[in-house]
Structure 1
Amino acid sequence: MPFKEIDVDTVYKGDPQLKKEDIKNLKEWAEMQPHLPKMTELQLILFLQSCYYSNELAKTTIDIYFTVKTLCPDIFANRSIKDPAVKLAATTMLASILPKRTPNGDTVIFFKLMDNNPDNFNFALQIRCFDMITLSHHHREGPQNGITILFDMQGIVFGHFLKLSVVIMKKLLYYLQEGMPIRLKSLQYFNIPSFMDKILALMKPFMKKELYDSIQIHTTMESLYAQVPKDILPQEYGGSCESLKNLHDKFLKLMAESEDLFKFQETQLADESKRPGKPKSISDVFGMEGTFKKLEVD
């Protein structure tokens, strides 16, 4: 069935800080950028709200969003659950927006491996699934007050770590911090593997201090519950949310139902040949990939 996104009038009514005049000005700016694709009003709203209603910051974020999406097809292209590789990634991982929010109003995106076999783990495709389901949720439900990403690390073994890529990690964290139209508040991890320090060491060089300081490592469930109350969590963790299996089934169903949105997103690419001034290349944004040091592990 056709993808059903939230009505923009509903978003305006629910957010007194969101001004139609600001969206009008942002739209006029976007339409004057020859390298940018045509955007919907809801997309403009998502960018402005995620930038705390700063038009100038929203302009920068929009440009980065489309630039990264265009220059990184290894992560962002081919957004279809019908593709065997994407389907395997979605089957391997649960990425679920939990029904209840935290006491401070943040939306929780819950991650967990559903298949612990490292052979089926593809870092770039897991990121693609995260991006697809997160933006699909924002298009269905409207802008979110904030996003907390919660990782259950159970089942993650050293074989998964060895499949992480420094290049892909840099692209992910740049996009997450500079281009994705969400308000990312914190990263929460529990059921920690013994090599968590190595994962953090891989991430830290590409993270702003603010985001790195938001990371919380929970060694007990009581520590986790202090940040994400038990009641919010799936049944397996003592919460009132449904089971992991039901959440995963719904995740796969939502991915399939969002096919129209994903196809539209695939068409929205920057045309660097039309960018005013000098076109941007992958090395302009991320540096030469060949200059990354080889990942060394003990």
Structure 2
Amino acid sequence: MLGAVQPFLLEKEYEKNPDILQDDIRKLKEWLKTQPHLPGELLTDLDLIITFHSCDNSAQVTKQVLDLHYTLRTLFTTLFKDRDVDQRIINSMNTVLLAPLPTPTVKGYRAVFCGLLDPDARLFNFADVIRTTMMVLDLWQYAEGTWPGFVIIIDMNQASLAHIAKLDIMILRQTLYFLQECMLVRLKEVHFINAPSFMDKLMMLLKPFMKKPLLDMIHIHETGSQELYKFIPKKAFPKDLGGDYKNKKDIGDDLIHWLQDNKQFYIEENKRRVNEALRPDGKKTTIEDLFSIQGSFKKLDID
């Protein structure tokens, strides 16, 4: 996974997804020409394949999700504006491990492991952690292309109420909105492991911003539970957790170098934003407008 990232060969993507036709992507490119506010000229065929796949190959949903995806990347400036592998990102990666696991889940999905490397809550900056998470996921997906499914594992070991107190509500709301409405993955499962006694307090914070499909995906595992391994092989995890992968510190160091080796990727990605002044209907979209929208563009998949 690590190393210089090259766009995934399109031929491989079409082999992986025989139900996606080149003509589907051609039609999306033609549609993008009618949407001057979107960064259509900067989007590659791989970007469109990933989006189309994440939307269950629906052209109509793909158009809505493409618009919302890049609109949110423009409006949610704390998470997406002028991203670079700077010191705040490195500090975040030294505090929290955001590790794409090398081994697929039991059902063949790709999984990301998130957990504290340093338990000192004073070092925990929630906005920077989410910003870093999005940077890691973007690069990983660019390296691998489409995934049949996506799984999030959050290790609550070493987490404290002091960490929960540092969760910024607006950032939390934006993150969950992006995840549910237009993140370019087929989200299948969310696992909280080593759940602490205050897990109920965390869920109380999360639930107001979560729709039922996402709530139904959540699995909470207490410390010592073996239930998680029914979903994800134990060997997939870091050695610190009894798996066969590298230890957490080495994984974190490798990820920092990986992002640093691919700074150009973020320079180019930063250009893919919306110009609201060119929106065809003339109505600029605001965060307030988005959060007042009812319904969902993108359907979450539940096993």
TM-score, with length taken from structure 1: 0.92
1:92 maps onto 2:101 in alignment = no
Which AA in structure 2 matches 1:69? Answer: R
Q: Does 1:13 align with 2:18?
A: no
2:286 partner letter: S
After superposition, what is the alpha-carbon deviation per residue over 1:105-142, rounded to whole angstroms, capped at 9, x for unaligned? 11110011111111211111111111111121111111
2:284 equivalent among 279, 282, 298: 279
Corresponding position of 1:291? none
Residue pairs, 1:133-282, within 5 angstroms: 133-219=136-222, 220-277=224-281, 278-282=283-287
Query: What letter matches 2:145 in structure 1?
Result: G
Counterpart code for 1:60:
Q
Equivalent pair of 1:107/1:147 in contact (CA under 8 Å): yes
1:22 pairs, out of 13, 21, 24, with: 24
Residue correspondences, number: 286
Contact 1:61 1:179 in 2 (8 A): yes
CA distance in 2, matches of 1:30, 1:188: 36
For residue 45 of structure 2, the aligned residue among 22, 41, 44 is 41
Matched position secondary structure for 2:288: helix
Corresponding letter in the other structure for 1:96: A
Identity %: 34
1:2·1:260 contact (CA, 8 Å) conserved in 2? no
Question: How far apart, in 2, do the equivalents of 1:84 and 1:31 lie?
Answer: 38
Q: What pairs up with 1:64-143 in 2 under 5 angstroms?
A: 64-81=68-85, 83-143=86-146
Aligned to 2:135, the other structure's residue is in SS state helix
Moved more, 2-11 or 130-139: 2-11
Q: Name the residue aligned to 1:296.
A: none
Q: Which runs of 5+ in 1 are unaligned?
A: 288-298
User: Does the aligned pair in 2 maintain the 1:108–1:148 contact within 8 Å?
Assistant: yes
Instruction: For residue 257 of structure 1, report the CA deviation from its aligned partner.
Output: 2.1
- 1:182-233: per-residue Cα shift (whole Å, max 9, x none)? 1111110111122111111111111121111110000133122222221221
1:56 is aligned to: 60
Give yes or no for contact 2:4–2:258 (8 Å, CA) kept in 1.
no
| Counterpart-to-counterpart distance in 1, 2:84 and 2:117 | 20
CA distance in 1, matches of 2:238, 2:4: 29
Task: Measure, in 2, the Cα distance between the counterparts of 1:210 and 1:54.
Answer: 19
Provide the rounded CA distance (Å) in 2 between the counterparts of 1:119 and 1:78. 25
Deviates more, 1:162-171 or 1:242-251: 242-251
Q: Find the aligned partners of 2:195 and 2:263 in 1 and give their Cα distance.
A: 34
8 A Cα contact 1:3 1:259, kept in partner: no
Root-mean-square deviation (Å):
1.4
What secondary structure, in the 3-state scheme, does the structure 2 residue paired with 1:185 have?
Answer: strand
Higher mean C-alpha displacement, 158-167 vs 244-253: 244-253
Query: 1:120-173: CA deviations, max 9, x gaps?
Result: 111111111111111211111111111110111111111111110221111001
Q: Paired residue for 2:297? A: none
Structure 1 runs of 4+ aligned residues shifted over 6 Å read none
Contact 1:148–1:186 under 8 Å retained in 2: yes
Counterpart Cα distance in 1 of 2:5 and 2:269: 13
Instruction: Identify the match of residue 6 of structure 2 among 4, 19, 22.
Output: 4
